[in-house]
């Protein structure tokens, strides 16, 4: 069974401002680069395949982490990229703050959020749509004879966690996914994930 280790990218200026990034290609902030440089992954990450979202913040995070892999150990193949790991599309709300949208949207916003997996920003993407594009990628990884480290985004990790746990996103998750943590899933032959370990602490996190 394939082991999949998921990590969210390090902080950006928009993260620090509480803005929804979506497809906006924001780089890591100076503080974000410094934070990622303190992280250390489990030793088995050195021999895994590494894949990331094509957005700068994910690529930078992966590149910093790969430089910190144990010296003299097995060497991971080159860093791959896959557009299916890109963040959920926030559409017309990209760059805005969620609290501001809730204040302005009132009951309509609350009703939209109550749709859970079918919550959708105007001209954006629902968590269910994220699952639909990520599941074929999960199937492909399950068919390979190696473990995987993927550096991606909060929306993608939450969508995969929902697949693994049955969480419908209508309320709080069974386990809160913390920042600056890794999350390990096991992939069945059909790509369906199951939870192996959540919120794995990274050195310095």
pLDDT of residue 204: 53
> Rounded mean pLDDT of the chain?
94
Catalytic one of 9, 125, 153, 183: 9
pLDDT of residue 76: 64
Contacts of 106 (CB under 8 A, 6+ apart): none
Residues 103-158 have pLDDT tens digits of 999 999 999 999 999 999 999 999 999 999 999 999 999 999 899 999 999 999 99
**CB atoms closer than 10 angstroms to residue 35:** 20
Confidence of residue 47 (pLDDT cuts 50, 70, 90): confident
Structural domain span for residue 63: 2-201
The question of whether 183 is a catalytic residue gets the answer no
pLDDT reading at 205 higher than 80: no
Q: What is the mean pLDDT of residues 196-204?
A: 88
Higher pLDDT, residue 42 or 186: 186
Confidence of residue 58 (pLDDT cuts 50, 70, 90): very high
**CB atoms closer than 10 angstroms to residue 47:** 15
pLDDT of residue 42: 83
Our count of domains for the chain comes to: 1
CATH of residue 148: 3.40.50.1240
Catalytic one of 87, 94, 125, 153: 87
Convert 122-149 to b/e letters by CB count within 10 Å (16 or more is b). eebbbbbbbbebbbebbeebbeeeebbb
Residues 161-183 have pLDDT tens digits of 999 999 999 999 999 999 899 99
Retrieve residue 69's tokens.
Answer: 């892999």
pTM (predicted TM-score) = 0.95
Distance, CA of 3 to CA of 176 (rounded, Å) = 21
pLDDT of residue 71: 61
pLDDT of residue 72: 54
């Amino acid at each position: 069974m394939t082991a999949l280790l998921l990590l969210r990218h390090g902080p950006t200026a928009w993260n620090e401002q509480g803005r929804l990034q979506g497809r906006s290609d924001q780089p890591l902030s100076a503080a974000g680069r410094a934070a990622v440089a303190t992280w250390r992954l489990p030793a088995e990450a050195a021999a895994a395949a590494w894949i990331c979202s094509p957005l700068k913040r994910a690529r930078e995070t992966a590149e910093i982490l790969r430089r910190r892999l144990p010296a003299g150990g097995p060497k991971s193949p080159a860093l791959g990229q896959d557009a299916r790991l890109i963040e959920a599309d926030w559409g017309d709300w990209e760059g805005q703050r969620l609290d501001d949208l809730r204040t302005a949207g009132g009951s309509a916003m609350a009703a939209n959020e109550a749709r859970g997996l079918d919550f959708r920003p105007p001209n954006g993407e629902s968590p269910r749509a994220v699952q639909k594009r990520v599941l074929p990628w999960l199937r492909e990884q399950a068919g390979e004879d190696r473990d995987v480290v993927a550096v991606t985004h909060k929306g993608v990790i939450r969508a995969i966690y929902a697949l693994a746990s049955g969480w419908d996103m209508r309320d709080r998750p069974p386990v809160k996914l913390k920042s600056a943590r890794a999350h390990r899933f096991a992939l069945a032959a059909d790509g369906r994930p199951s939870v192996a370990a959540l919120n794995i602490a990274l050195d310095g996190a």
